[in-house]
Structure 1
């Protein structure tokens, strides 16, 4: 295809250069004209100035002597110059001479040249002036001729330069480009043809342009071939995609921003339950029976607004078969999305079951600890101002039955307790089992203590009834700690902690009761925590001491031994009672370390007494249930005695009835191992616990210690006296000895002697004293006992 003459590069180049030349020439000539005029004017002024310089001396003389004739001759000489229009010479007093060119002065508007004339003898004395009027017409004619000549020369130069430039451009640029253009129209690149460079232009810009065109041609040919290949693959992929699209298990669709379905496969209709629908698949995605349609619409809107993939699990509320779909949306441009819907119903069922299991106790099917925390959080979040009560319920004595009779019996007991608790509450209450023997109860929308107190009282009574476990009924009590929302805490952890503090207070008070939280409990708990931390350091700092209280043979009036009683000498608080720190030691496990320290210290003391000649004295130490059997193994006891060459009979171990109740089998094995090596066992605080004869017959104890509470009041209370008499008679019939604790006066001592009690211990003989004071106490007692009536001689 050839370009029209007016549009081809040759014509346009010629016209363009001609136009540029005309424009530039006009500007140059105009500027030259102006400059030439200006220069000619300056030249004329210079010539007139030089003319004045020539005649200045003559004019000085004429003005000095006021010679009019001489002045007139000078003026006539000047007027003969064609560039002068008029001349006037004046002295200070008169005009000496004047000449002008006829007919031109009135038309001449050029500025006159004036020069002051000074005396030829005194250069500072002015004697006249000369005025010269230029001839404007003559000046302009001369300037015009000079400017015209310069302009014609410039125009001729520009014309020659333009023709030369046009020739060069046409020859070196336009003609090669036109040749390239003409050849390019006939080129067949798909047949391998390439554009040749014009002759003589192989290494310059036009040659590189040809190379670039050939390179671009090759790229275009390659791109066309690639496009053709892609079209073939696209056709194949489209057929393959269509097959996958129609037969995919997942639902696939394309929809616009309003949810209108532009295309979808059969699986979408099947998954959404619309396959059997009379009208088939609805035309809009949002018209499906979603459980929460606004969630689907929000997902679609978020995908388009953020221009990023979005996904979510959505429920379809189908009438017969509710279904969950995982919907994944991807923006594909033009305000459209591509979606994939996958059936995740089974996964959701498994997740729901797993979630339910995480908040459910498997044994009782009640809620568990996590369920309790979740329920409390929901109640606080959903109804922050609605009061409720939290009850923590602990089964007192469950561990004894679980350990003694086995896990199966323990589980059966827990199931029975759970059923009893269900019967104590309403359907709107929440009940759960939060640990092995602990339950939790939430009473929603209750204010004050009245209703929680009634429920707690009913629970304590109900759980305290007998449980038919096999052939033998079992009894367990219950302790209930209560915290009220929002009085006792507005946060989950605070509320749970306060309910646990109240429960702990009930358990420490003996159980089988309930307590409401009080702020003082938190302070007590903090003191207990501080006490625990300080107790850990007490042994290292040697703050623990053993005090010794004498045990007297009241039948033979002699000092038989002593009981070692641990004391804590605190650097700030002074003497800390054992009842304050021993329970803390048992809970934290420090009792193991403290128990071994007591054993070693007691054996050291026995060794010291024997060095002092008191081989007949024995020493008893108290053993906690937490030490049996691993905290104080019989081998450790024997090793401590043998290292000091002490006989087994020199040491007595005191245990309480609670030790026997915790794990009967373990306790029996431990006691038998000790008795086999000759160590005596005292049963302490007899009468305050279960006090069963079967324990005395079954366990190898050697001596029973009657609790001081019975001894203290037996002089005033006949029932306490009868109980002590019964205990003494019963133990003697079993071949056991009796130690009466809490002997405080002579009357109590006399009664105990009359009952046949063998040993006595109490303030009547001595308070517990440090080891350094014990020798003096022993000497005093021996002196008093020797002087007492009835002492064997």
Structure 2
């Protein structure tokens, strides 16, 4: 409340004292309140000054300026210079600095990340809780290439859970010690790493981050392992060799290395040898007088002495070679214990007397010879040097009559060549022993001659008289293999001959017939006339069979009245029928025994290879079963073996009839399997394959009808149709696409032997207009080997026309490599049976590789058939096989499919089947 002076004066005068005191008390109270309020405002003013000064000093510290002292700037001046503006400007400066710093930090971070990514090691940063915070590209590629978001993921779950070997945790070690730790054998997924873990501490000294650097040392580990294994193998080899080996320092004469053989030879341990002076054991000399380094001697397989630890002397052959090992010249010395040789020499010396005694008293004749040579160095004869008494007795000559004379003076000469010269020349030239038998007709003796080389240009021969032994062996062998009554081969010889025939039939892809004969009612003959007459009857039957059959057929007696006839000159079932009829005709004439006529009939069972079995026991069993069917049918007839004989015979007959109509009804068609150049990966030709679309049975493969076509003779017209059709279609394809593809066509054996083959092919190519070099004829190995001379003439005639020639199914026939150079072949086709077994049968892999090498040596290209998977292809490519075909590249294509394949590609260079991959 404000009081004016006027009022106050009037009031004071007029107011009573008590009231005045009361008002004075109120004024005092008001003044006291104003004084307190003033002190509060002053206190607030000082607080404001201190606050502004504190904040200003803080900002000055941030921007790098010393704080303001009170004596430098009082409070009034502090306010007058606008501290708020100073603060504002400072903040702007700080913000600008922070932006620049952030930009620099961002650039530094990118540079650091680039450096991390450029590192060949995997780098990762984890925090103290083992969460991944940063990583480089190498680290991601090593441990989590397919995971996108990994920052913040527990590192142990991300990486360490895949570790294959456990050990002390590297994180725990770093967290416990607070220092750098490393692990030199960290293994994950079969790879080895060298890991260095480095902790990063914060301002409080606590571990904030751990930097992990993973260096892939897998290759180094493998190299170390390989080196250790090589060292172990080398040491094992050195310790296992029969020769003692040591390395000697030529300067100090100390043994640097010794193998276990030397330790065994000396009779001690390696530690008793290595580091010692070599003169203590080897070539004992005065210390310091080394024969090599000090005396200048040259030791090359010289005989020396070896001192064993027990003081005994061991004779050795020593060889010394200077080598450089890690920059140091060392002596490599090897020793061979010749004590056994010395002992042997002594024993040999002692045995010479015994040998001389034996030489003079032995029953076998012995002769020493010296080879004689012509002027041009060719062995021409041999001269007698010495003979023993037994030789004199065998040849009825005295030693003085033969010693010093040449072979032609003593032995018979055939075609101007002394007896045994070829064999004896090989013995001398190749230094090998040889043995052969020779029948000296003038002596009426058979001798076994064993020749062996002696000294240079000399040899010895032992002559053993085996005349009686040969007679005994022949008699025993005959008794073992021939029937005592009929003198026919018995069951044992039958098995042997049947095995041989089966081998030939399998090799030549031919048939074989086994006839099982049983005389009808033979028991009645024995019961009526006695066993003597029965034996006579069996002899007569045996003689008739031997005389009636061809020399290539075999007649055997199994026992009793059972006989077996073997024939591998069978091309079809009809041939077997003719032979069975001939057997019946041979036995139909009556026999006269004891003035009585006896009529003989026989029941015959026939088993054919391969239809009825492919081993002797099966064929004999099935033929025996067929023979009983013949007896059940009324006897005196023959039956072919078949589990369902009538159904099979009917089916075969119907199929043969249909085959005769197939050409006229145009039921045959061709497919083409591409052939690939393995070097370029491109198609270079096709093989024509025949198929039959039977009106009832559907599509038939060649295996189902070609054998029947060969038996019936239809293979010739069918083969001509295949050749004509394939050439015409390939010519049309060439005209359509401009692509020159080689055409491969198989020739059957009958086609190849056809005398008009060459002229017919010449006319065919001229009519169609197909270039001769585009036609390749494939002939099986067995066809070529059937008649080598005729085959060679035919092949040369075809080759002169410009045709390409290939040998098909190589390895399934004779496999006679020595005859290949006779034939003008350009290609050799490895049979698919070898290709299919490349990964499972090492012997087939080795045979295939040998065939490729052999063919290339003779300038012949190799084609592999039947490739069905990538493994077979990779093997053949690695062995430099030239060409291939099979389902891996393409199944056989019809002409329309092949045309589309060609038309879809701009050129043959782009027509590649490798992109097909592993197709079935």
TM-score by length of 1: 0.39
In terms of fraction of residues, the more helix-rich structure is 1
| Larger Rg, first or second structure (1 or 2) | 1
TM-score by length of 2: 0.34
